[in-house]
Structure formats: C-alpha cells, structure tokens
Amino acid sequence: ADDSKLEELKAQGFARVAIANEPPYTAVAADGKVSGAAPDVAREIFKRLGVNDIVASISEYGAMIPGLQAGRFDVVTAGLFMKPERCAAVVYSEPVLCDAEAMLVKKGNPKGFKSYEDVAKDATATIGAPGGGTEEKLALTAGVPRDRVIVVPDGQSGLKMLQDGRIDAYSLPVLSINDLVKKANDPNLEVVAPVVGAPVYCDGAAFKKGDEALRDAYDVELAKLKESGEFAKIIEPYGFSAAAAMSTSRDKLCSAK
Amino acid sequence: MSAPIIKIDGISKSFGTFKVLDGLSMQVMPREKLALIGPSGSGKTTILRILMTLERIDSGHIQIDGEQLYHMERNGQLLPADERHLARMRQKIGMVFQLFNLFPHKSVIDNVTLAPILTKGIPRAAAEKRAMELLDMVGMADKAKAMPAQLSGGQKQRVAIARALALQPRIMLFDEVTSALDPELVEEVLNVLWRLCSETDMTMLLVTHEMGFAHDFADRVLFFDRGKIVEEGKPDEIFRNPKQERTQGFLKKIIAAGHRV
Amino acid sequence: MSAPIIKIDGISKSFGTFKVLDGLSMQVMPREKLALIGPSGSGKTTILRILMTLERIDSGHIQIDGEQLYHMERNGQLLPADERHLARMRQKIGMVFQLFNLFPHKSVIDNVTLAPILTKGIPRAAAEKRAMELLDMVGMADKAKAMPAQLSGGQKQRVAIARALALQPRIMLFDEVTSALDPELVEEVLNVLWRLCSETDMTMLLVTHEMGFAHDFADRVLFFDRGKIVEEGKPDEIFRNPKQERTQGFLKKIIAAGHRV
Amino acid sequence: MTQWSGYFGLIMQGALVTIELTLMGSVLALIMAFLAGLGRLSRFFAIRALATAYIEFFRGTSIFVQLFWAYFVLPFIGISLTPLQAGVLALGLNVGAYAAEVVRGAIQSIGREQYEACTALNLGRWQGMRHVILPQALLVMLPTFGNNAIELLKATAVVSLISLADLTFQAQVVRSQTGNTLVPFTTILIIYFVLALIISWGVRSLERRMARGLDGVRV
Amino acid sequence: MEWDWNFVWEIMPTLIQGVKITILATLLGSVLAAIVGLAIALARRSPNKGLSRTVGFLAEFIRGTPLLVQLYFIFYVLPDIGILLPPLVAGVIGLGLHYGTYTAEVYRAGIENVPRGQWEAAKACNLNARQTWTHIIMPQAIPPMIPALANYFIAMFKETPLLSAITVLELMNQAKSVANTYYRYVEPMTLVGAFFLVISLFSVVLLRWLERRYGKIER
Ligand SMILES: Nc1ncnc2c1ncn2[C@@H]1O[C@H](COP(=O)(O)OP(=O)(O)OP(=O)(O)O)[C@@H](O)[C@H]1O
Ligand SMILES: Nc1ncnc2c1ncn2[C@@H]1O[C@H](COP(=O)(O)OP(=O)(O)OP(=O)(O)O)[C@@H](O)[C@H]1O
Ligand SMILES: [Mg+2]
Ligand SMILES: [Mg+2]
C-alpha cells in the first residue's frame, strides 16, 4: 500500500502542490505561470518520478498543514521551514531551500534592532510577521507579547505597513525580504540580516503523514539532483545557496530544539 | 314541494371570544333568490364564507343538496370532512367577493378559464368558448384579452361573476358585490345580476346594502342582527312594514344616510 | 353686499400632460355653504387641495379674503408666494380629508391640540380646554384619551373635524368626508356637519356624493365636469330641474344606483 | 512596467472564476430558497422544523465560518471538496437561507383574498400555489433576489481566503508580484461594480417584463 | 482528527480576547453606520441635484463592491495620500461606510412609508417644516426602522471576520492564529461557528421582539 500514492499520482498525471504567495520561493509570472525556486525543484523531481506536471495552488501559510492533512494537496513546497513541531505534524523530505531570518526596518534602523529579543525589550515596538510562519513563533518565543506581534497577511502588506509606520519591523527570510525591497525600490528602508540568534532554517517538501513511501522516493531523486549539480542550477538564480542545503539534514533540523 | 338545497342547523361560530353566530338555523329552497341584510358586523359575510368553506364552524350542521358539508359518513359514522370531501362539496357552490379578488397576473379570459381547465379537466378550447359566452353575457367579451388592472371596478366585478359562473355551481353567493364600486359603476353590475336572476335557475344568496335592489330582486329577505335572524319575509313585508323595532331602526338609518329603498 | 372671501380667477392645473383644471373661475361669499358635485375625476378634490396649498397652480390667481394666495406683493411687484406667505394664508383655511389623516401616534386630544400649541403658541391647558369643547361638540369627549386606531371610521372623521376646527379657520374644506365610511357611520358625521353648518359662520366648501345632504345643506351647488363648472345654482334648481344634459345624466345615474336625492 | 497587460489577463481570469462562482452559487441559492421557503410554509411540522433549522443555522453562522468548515473540516468526515465546490456550497447555502425568507415573505404577502378566490374556485392547494400564488409572489421576490445575487457576488471575495483564485485573490497575487497596491485593487473594485450593475440591470429588465400588464392604464 | 476538549479549554481565553474585539468593532461600526446612513439619506433627499446624484452614485458603488476589497483599500491605499489609520479604526470605518449605504435605504423607506396624507394633514394644520419632521414624520418613521436597522447590525456582526485581513485581532483572526500555532483547525473553527450561532440565535429573539414592539404603527 506504501507505493500506492505515487502510482496514484502517476495515473493522475500531476501532483497538487501548495505554494505561498512569496517571491522568490515562488513567483507567478504575468502569464499566470508558476515558477520560483520551490516549485521548480518540485516540478523537476516529480518529472523524474514519472509524474509529468504539478498543479500549484497558492495558499496561506497557516492553511498549508491543515490543507495537507485534509488531503487538499499532495505536497507543500513553500518555504515551510523544518521545525520539530512541524516534523511531528507532517513528513519532510531532505532540506531544499535554506535561508536565514531577516528584518526589514526603516533607514538607519532607528530602534537598533539586531534580534527578536531587542524587539521584545522595547515596550513600544511592534513587529510584523506572516500568520503561522516561523518568524511569528520566533518573535513570540523571544518574549514579544502577542499584541505586539502583528499578523500580516502577505509580504506586500508587511512592506506597506512598515513604510506607513504601522509596524517597526517586518520579519521574513532574507531572500524574501530582499525581493520585497528590490521591488519596492524605496531608499528609506534597510534590511537587518541575518537576525542575531535566529537559526538558519531549511524547508523541505512536506508530505502528509502516511505518505512516507512517496517522501522516500522524493528523497532519492532529490539526492541525485543535488549530486549532479542541477539542483544548484535551479535554485541559485533565485538567490538560494545549494551548499547550505547540502550541509545539513532533516534529522538535524527536526531534532533541533 | 322539493327539499331545501341549503339546510343550516344550529351552527355557531366564534372569533376568539367573540361569538359571531350563535345557533343559527335557516333553509334555502332550490332556485330561491335570498337577500341577506342587516347592520355591519351582524355576521352576513360570515355565513357566506362558511358556506364557501372559507371558515370552519364550531358546532352545528350544514347540508347542501342533501349532503353534509362539514361532515362525511364513513361506515355509518359522522366524521369531520376531509379536504377531498370539501373539494367535492365546493363544486356545487360559487362565490363573488366584495373586492372581486381577480387574479391580477392573468388576463380576463384566463381568469375565467383557469378553474374549469384545472379542476374539471375541460380542454382549453372548450373552456375558452364557454368563457366567451359568459363574458358576453356580462358584457365583457370585448375585454377578454385585457388584464384586470386595465378594468374599472364595475368591469372587474362583472368578470368575477363570469369566473364564478364558469364552474356552473348550483348555488351562487354574492357578498356586497357593489359596495366597493363608485356610484356610477354600480349600475353595470346590478344589470348583470338582474339578467342572471331572471335567466338562470341557480339558487342565489345575496348580501347587499342596496335596499332597492334587494327589494326588487329577492324572493325572500332575511334581516340579521348580531348573528341572529331578527326578521324574515317577502321583500314587501320587510321593507314596507317591518315588524321588529330593530329592523325599523335599521331601515330608517339607511334612508337617512341617503339610500333609496 | 360684501366682497367674496374666495375669488378664483382663471386658474389652470395639469398633472403631466393631463389638464385637470382649465381656466376655472369662481367666487365664494363669506358664510356661504357651497356643495361641489360631479363625476369622479372631474377635479373637485383638486380645487380643495389647491385652496389648501397642497398643490400648486400653473396659472391664474386666487384671492382669499382680499389677499393673493399664491402671490405676494413686494414693492408693488407681484412675486410667487414664499413659504412664509403661504403659512400665513393657511391660517385662514382648514381641511378635512376623505381618509381622515389623523396622526396615528397621538391620542385624540393630542391630535386636536398639537397645531394650536405649536403654531399659535397657546398654552397646553388652554388648548386642551378648547379641544374638549370641540370634542364635546362632535360627540367625542369621552374618547379624548383614545388612540386613533381604537376608533371607528365615523369617530375618526369626527376627530378630524374637531382638529381642523381647533385652528379656527375662516374657511373649511370638506372632501368627501363620508365616502370612506360604512353606511351606518355616515350618519354620525353628517350630524356633526349639520350642527357645524347651523352654528358657525364659517365659509364651507363641501365635496360630496351624498346628494340628499348636499341638497339640504348647501346655499349653492356647483356641478363639475372635466375641470369646468357645468352648472350652478340653488340646490332645488340643480336637483329638481337641471338644465344641462350632463347634469341630468349624472343625477339619473346616481338615482339608479340607489342614492336618494 | 510592460507586464501590466499580462497581469490584467490574470485579473480577468480571476473575474471568470468570480462570475462562475456567482452563477453556480446563485443557482444553488435559488434551489435552496424555494425548497426552504416553501418548506417553512408546509403543513407538516417536520418539514417546517427542518427548513427553519437550515435557515437559522446558515443565517446565524458567519459565511466565513461556513467556508472554512466546508473547506477544512468536511474532509475529516470524508467529504473532500475542491475549493470551487466548497465555495459554491458555502455561498449557495448561505445566500439560499436569506433568499428562503424572501420566498416565504413574498408568498405570505399575497393577500388572503387570493387564497380565498382559489378555494372558491375549488383549486387544490398545489394548483392554487402553482397558478395563482407563485406567479404573483415571484414578482415580489425578484427585486430582493437581485439584491441577494449582489450580496453573493460580493461574498465571493471571501473565497480568496480559501485559496480560490477569484478576483480578489488574483489582485493579491498581482500586488505581491508587482509591489503595486493601488492599480490591482482599483481595477477589481471597478470590475465588481460593473458586475453588480449588470446583475441589477438584468433583474430590473426581467421584472419589467414580468410586470407587464399588471399595472396597465385603466380604460 | 478527533475533537479534543482539553485543547478547547486551552484556547478559550485567547478566543474570548477575540470576541471582545469583535463586539467592539460591531458596536462602533453600528454607531457609524447609523450616522453615515442618515447623512446619505438626507443628502439624497437634497434639492441640490449635484449633491444628491454624487452621493447616490457613491453609495451605489460602495454597496456594489465587496467589503473585503474596501478594507484593503482603506488600510493599504489610503496611507499613500497621507491617511494612516490604526487597523481597528480602519475596520470600523469600512464597516460603517459599507453598512451606512444599507441603513440609508432603511431611513429612506421609513420616511417614505409615512403616508402622504400625514404630510398633507400637517400642512393643513399649518405646521412648519421643522414641526412636521419632529412631531409628525419622525415619530412615525423611526419605530418601524428599528428592526430593520438591528437586522443590518447583526449582519455586520457576522462580517467582522473580514477585519482579520487588515490585521485586526478579532475572533476569526485569533482562531486562525491558534489554529496555525497548533496545526488544528477543527476546534477553533467550530468554536467560532458556535459563537456566531449563539449570538445570532439571541439576536433573532431580540429582532422578533423589536418587530413586535416597533414594527407596526396602528392606524
Ligand atoms: N377573521 C376574523 N377575526 C375576528 N373577527 C372577525 C373575523 N371575521 C369577522 N369578524 C367579526 O365578526 C363579526 C361579523 O362579521 P361579518 O363580516 O360577518 O359581518 P357583516 O354582517 O358581513 O358586516 P359588514 O356589513 O360590515 O360586511 C364582525 O364583528 C367582525 O368584526
Ligand atoms: N397627483 C396626481 N397625479 C396625476 N393625476 C392626478 C393627480 N391628482 C389627481 N389627478 C387626476 O386629476 C383628475 C381630477 O382629480 P380629482 O381628484 O380632483 O377628481 P375628483 O373630482 O375629486 O374625483 P373623485 O370624485 O373620484 O374624488 C383625475 O383624473 C385624477 O386622475
Ligand atoms: Mg360583510
Ligand atoms: Mg376627490
């Protein structure tokens, strides 16, 4: 019964993939075609597994794991970083995209933020982060009270809120922040990267519990891809480092405290 | 002498705590033309509505044409009538309302043919032929295609009469069929009633405030007050020589208010 | 002989393309009781509404008590009346409506006192005393605390009359004040009108279908048709011996419809 | 900024999804409205209770909760719907509950005298309903149905929250891809408004056609 | 996925935080909608054609487009022209404006439902415009409006989850946040649904009472 999921996907001809609306992890071209580092890797691996195509649907971070559990997607490839709680909720492939955390602040970093703890210490400071994302949890664990962690629906909203002075910092992975800043083209912004004390995270393709066989097959192809150097060719144009992904492993990330 | 076509036996009817009819009995003979008069609120409309099964009675019995109206016999027992029994009894009775109650979304001819087609399964062509005859009789043949909204009150009422006649009931009930009309339009409808009255052998019950018409039209007049028959008799007796004080008072008021008797 | 209290001079009034009044002229003397009769749609209501300033006129002039109603003089020029001028003129005129138009959220006595208190600044106590006299006159003193919804049609109409009288207008307009009432209730209101007519020296204009009443009540009767005065004269002349064919036809129809003349 | 035309295409795709949702949702809502509206007038207690429960439940819980439920919770009891199905289901059932009250109100607004005329003409219950009451009630319902359809159109924006690529969702995508907020949002506001205008225009002309003859000139 | 009561109790305090914001937003939104509606209704009655047409068009536009998109607009676009509103304020303004276009209709209908005869009787009694409004029209127009207004306020209450899109931590947002933290959707969403249902059922009772108390004026 273990291989049945892959057979199912093959028969169906495509895999349903959840992605986030967050460049450069994912990108939607003007013609509506989905690209970006995560879907590109997934597309390649599924092709090698004999599943010709992926059908990507954009989803909120918070909705990804429930959606996976509810059988809405076959896999999440969205920059959903591996963390012990998540490893308990889903089954991950080996690491794919790695990134450190960054904070977007006003020019000159007026409040001098270096870490989430700095935000916690300043009683008037607010920080924006995606709901259900890693950054929200990091901020909360660092001691920022709930009412100063603003749940922001997406990157553009976060950027806008920072520009408008509604929040003092907006936190996302480094590459996401860089992409935002590039598009915004606003000289009054500054990136703090990486955030001190925040670990480097890697995401992996996340599968539903019970789909371990599919995950194992995925890992095999992912390893081949990494070895052949094609992996780097796919992700590096987006700014990600292949070396970082290859220097760590799922076991390490999932057992990190 | 033949048997009465309507036989009302000690019926009572209350609305909430208000007793409208209290043990009323009366009989109507086939082909009789009966006028019901009396002050407002005396229960005239209620009687017609009960005969049309628009209201239930609380107690008593009604026989139409020898059959129980609100009861039916099953294995020798008298049970409350079910909808099927009522529907069958209703075939014998037609009613024309004070406010016409035409179907506003149907043309004149469709108003007249709807019930025959649906309830008697008469083919449309035959139903329309018959409807045109009836509309002709009430002087409305040229308006067959008109919608009710395009008619005057008197015209509407004449269509309503044709509609009720289309089902060929043995008994026709008319409830103040002229009182919602402008004085000038009343005449149209009264003319139709005159013809009907002289040309058919239907039994007719007519509630009216038109004392002059009641006088000339009716074989017998019933004067009602508070759900009771106070006086009854030939029109001449009632209008020229009322015996009861209540009747005298009523007629005097009506005259004072400008109505001709 | 004194000057007319109402002087209507060639007024015209259209609704859309439909001309209701076309160059109508007429005069009313102080203390005169005038009955306006005529078929439905002939413009009777419209005249009263124009006098009450509920409709504007398109052209012509109206003088009330020697003063222009719809115009006012400023530095020798005749300008269209402004709201202040109209309000002042309205003090001379009261109107009773066919459908009573009582204020449903106010008790009977409040209906009567509202306008005197608000528009004339009469203290409440004095206003209520006077209101009770008026209600007594119309036989409604015992219902002073009732709400309009608790009254019968005839009672409502009597309150409406008291309300109009409370402002002590010099001219009273009555628009078919009995036609919305049941025949038996008509009497109540006609009785009040009789008293009013004999006891006050107000000028009264009355639109009515009660020919008998118009006959006995009016000093003069105007017969209208299509916005024109077809015939006018003493009640006896008009009702017993109408000269115009149109008047004859109208009266015949009314009689046929069961109304006494 | 040469890509605007491409992104505009994306928004038009979203508009198609929105129209699709509105149409299918309206059909479902219409069916539910008549089922539940007539159900509430039924002679049978069980049917009345069922219809009332449906109406109160779907009017009572917010459309959001219904949507999230249809999308995230139903799969746990074995019913897995595509986002489109979940959207149509939630919108249709929700708006249907409101429209059911419109159906009931319209039927009840037809005067008692029309029912009595039916009885006097010996029409059966269903015959009277079918030929006399409903045709008149339909005209009463129509304007409110138009408003309901516009409510439904507006509610489709909510489905963007369950990742259905409707107008609002596509505007969000365009916004994060281009970094521009004003243009995509203004565009979709106008598109929504035009769609709403089309609905109300359609309903009005339907109404005019149906009302023909009902208030003709008195001759 | 099973229902977990322990989890329910654990998240209850957080959800109650959200309930408070939800109720606050509804109350403030209702007050604003009542005022905005009156302003729109009066502007539309204005003899100044320019004013009444412009306001009429704007109201139509707001009513024809989704509240969600309007909220995005108020929150993310207005700052570009220097209007920076805190999330809750932006939300309340969105709700107030949107529902103001509905309450305007209620006011209009309420005023128009006072029979023409009442205006005429007031004139025949020689009351001036202000006296007519305060003593005759308003006392008759307002009571029947109350149930209709309450109806819209309840509808608004059910739309407050939209405020989550502009970072207001109302009930729905709290529930999502909880769900995201624990990766459990069933309990929080069901609780939110139950909460809305309970309040709605109460409000139905309240509405029926209001309708009985104020719905009809006896004439
Ligand atoms: N559905 C009802 N509910 C309560 N009371 C009613 C109802 N129908 C009639 N009544 C009351 O019953 C009494 C008799 O009414 P009915 O209509 O039979 O009188 P009527 O003789 O026809 O009077 P009218 O000449 O005014 O038509 C009246 O007092 C009336 O108020
Ligand atoms: N507001 C209005 N708009 C259009 N037409 C009107 C309006 N008011 C009155 N009319 C028309 O003006 C004509 C005269 O109306 P008016 O009410 O003065 O007649 P009337 O003599 O009082 O008739 P009735 O005896 O039926 O009351 C009628 O044809 C009527 O349809
Ligand atoms: Mg009656
Ligand atoms: Mg008139």
Mean pLDDT, residues A71-79 taken together: 85
Q: What is the mean pLDDT of residues C38-66?
A: 91
- The shortest CB-CB distance from E125 to any of C53, C115, C147 is to C115
Atom of ligand 1 nearest to the CA of B44: 21
Average pLDDT over residues C124-152: 92
**Tokens 């409205």 identify what position?**
D33
Task: Note the maximum CA span of chain B.
Answer: 57
Residue scoring higher pLDDT (C76 or B104): B104
**What is the rounded CA–CA span in Å between residue B213 and residue B191?**
10
Whether C42 is in the pocket of ligand 2, judged by its Cβ within 6 Å, is yes
Establish if D16 touches chain A: CB-CB under 8 angstroms. no
Return the partners of chain A (3 or more C-beta pairs < 8 Å).
D, E
Rounded CA separation C244/C249 (Å): 9
In chain D, what residues touch B54 (CB-CB under 8 Å)?
116, 119-120
- Sorting pLDDT into bands at 50, 70 and 90, what band is D205? very high
Closest residue by Cα to residue D76 from B236, E91, E122, A70: A70
Q: What is the mean pLDDT of chain B?
A: 89
The mean per-residue pLDDT over the stretch B60-70 comes to 92
Q: What is the pLDDT of residues E145-163, one digit of tens each?
A: 888 888 888 889 988 988 9
Q: How far apart are CA B167 and CA B156, in angstroms?
A: 18
E144 compared with D87, residue with greater pLDDT: D87
Task: Kindly report the protein residue whose alpha carbon is nearest to atom 22 of ligand 1.
Answer: B45
User: Is the minimum distance from the CB of C17 to ligand 2 under 6 angstroms?
Assistant: no
Which residue in chain D is spatially nearest to E68 when comparing CA positions?
Answer: D157
CA distance D151 to chain E (A): 8
Minimal Cβ distance to A131: which of E76, E177, E183: E177
Which of D67, D175, D176 to substitute to test the interface with A, most A CBs within 10 Å?
A: D176
For residue E112, with 0-12 CB atoms within 10 Å meaning exposed, 13-18 middle and 19 or more buried, which class applies? exposed
Distance from CA of B152 to the nearest CA of C (A): 12
3-class state of residue B153 by DSSP: helix
How sure is the predictor about C261, in pLDDT bands with cuts at 50, 70 and 90?
Answer: very low
Q: β-strands A206-207, A75-76: how paired?
A: antiparallel
> Is A77 strand, coil or helix?
coil
- What is the ipTM metric for this complex? 0.73
| Helix boundaries (H) for D110-166 | 112-120, 125-128, 134-155
CB contact A49 to E (< 8 Å): no
Identify the closest residue of chain E to D154 by CA–CA distance.
Answer: E66
What single letter denotes the amino acid at residue A225? L
Q: What share of chain A is helix, strand, coil (3-state, %, to 5)?
A: 45, 20, 35
Could you tell which of B11, B13, B17, B20 is best to mutate to test the pocket of ligand 1, judged by most ligand atoms within 8 Å of the CB?
A: B20
Q: Is the CB of C139 under 6 A from ligand 2?
A: no
Contact D61 E201 (CB under 8 A): no
Nearest listed ligand to the Cα of residue C56:
2
Work out the pLDDT band at C257, boundaries 50, 70, 90. low
The residue whose CB lies within 8 Å of the most ligand 2 atoms, and thus the one to mutate among C14, C15, C209, C250, is: C15
| Closest Cβ opposite residue D61 in set E65, E68, E197 | E197
Chain E residues closer than 8 Å to D64 by CB: 161-162, 172
A242 vs D149: which has the higher pLDDT: D149
- Any CB–CB contact under 8 A between E139 and chain C? yes
All domains in chain D, ordered by first residue = 15-167 (1.10.3720.10)
Pick A91 or B182 by higher pLDDT.
Answer: A91
CB contact under 8 A, D192 and E190: no
E189:D73 CB<8 A:
yes
C149 close contact with B: CB closer than 8 A: no
What's the C27 CA to ligand 4 centre distance in angstroms?
Answer: 20
- In angstroms, what separates the C-alpha of D120 from chain B's closest C-alpha? 6
C-alpha C235/C-alpha C221 separation (Å) is: 6
Q: For ligand 1, which residues put their CB under 6 angstroms from it? A: B 15, 18, 20, 38, 40-46
Q: Is C30 exposed, middle or buried (0-12, 13-18, 19+ CB in 10 A)?
A: middle
Which amino acid, residue B179?
S
- Which chain B residues touch D139 with a CB distance below 8 Å? 105
Report pLDDT digits (tens) over B211-234: 888 888 899 999 999 888 999 999
Q: How far is the CA of A70 from the centre of ligand 3 (A)?
A: 67
Q: Where are the domains of chain B?
A: 103-168
Q: Which of D15, D149, D161, D31 is nearest to D86 (CA)?
A: D161
Determine the atom of ligand 2 nearest the C-alpha atom of C16.
Answer: 4
Q: Residue C91: its chain E contacts at CB < 8 A?
A: 126
% of chain E with per-residue pLDDT over 70 = 97
Tokens at B51, concatenated: 């005969």
In this predicted structure, the answer to whether residue B260 has a pLDDT above a threshold of 50 is: no
Q: Helix axis angle, E186-214 relative to E138-159, nearest 10°?
A: 170
Of C190, C169, C193, the closest CA to residue C181 belongs to C190
How high is the pLDDT of residue B261? 44
d(CA B94, CA E218): 35
Q: Indicate whether D165 pLDDT > 90.
A: no
Shortest distance between the Cα of A39 and any Cα of chain E, in A, equals 23
Q: Residue B259's pLDDT is what?
A: 52
pLDDT at residue B256, rounded to an integer: 63
Please state, in angstroms and rounded to a whole number, the distance separating the CA atoms of residues E157 and E148.
Answer: 14
Q: How much distance in Å is there from the Cα of C180 to the middle of ligand 1?
A: 18
pLDDT digits (tens, 9 = 90+) for B181-210: 877 778 888 888 888 888 888 999 999 888
Identify the pLDDT of residue C258. Answer: 53
- Return the SS3 of A18: strand
Q: What is the pLDDT of residues C92-117, one digit of tens each?
A: 999 999 888 999 999 999 999 999 99
Cα–Cα distance, C68 to C52 (Å, whole number) = 13
CA-based end-to-end distance of chain D:
66
Q: Quick check: D2 pLDDT over 70? A: no
Of B183, B253, B254, the CB nearest to C257: B183
**Strand pairing partners for C207?**
C36, C175
Domain E5-214: which topology?
Answer: MetI-like fold (1.10.3720)
The pLDDT of residue D161 is above 80: no
Single-letter code of the amino acid located at D211: A
- Measured between alpha carbons, how far is B150 from B102 in angstroms, rounded to an integer? 12
Q: Is B186 an 8 Å CB contact of chain C? A: yes
Report d(CA C176, CA C178) in Å as an integer: 5
Atom of ligand 2 nearest to the CA of C55: 1
Whether E57 and chain D come into contact, CB under 8 Å, resolves to: no
CA nearest to A204, candidates A149, A169, A158, A245: A245
Q: Is the pLDDT of residue A69 over 90?
A: no
CB pairs under 8 A between A and E: 49
C41 pocket-lining for ligand 2 (C-beta < 6 Å): yes
Strands B18-28 and B6-15: antiparallel
Tokens found for residue A80: 């959903």
The pLDDT confidence band at residue C260, using thresholds 50, 70 and 90, is very low
Between CA B39 and CA B261, with CA B51 as vertex, the angle to 5 degrees is 30
Select the more confidently predicted residue: B67 or E181: B67
The owner of tokens 């390649």 is A44
Convert the pLDDT of each residue in D183-200 to its tens digit. 899 999 999 999 999 999
For the Cβ of C44 lying below 6 angstroms from any atom of ligand 2, the answer is yes
| C170, amino acid identity | R
The whole-number pLDDT of residue E218 equals 60
* Closest Cα to atom 10 of ligand 2: C15
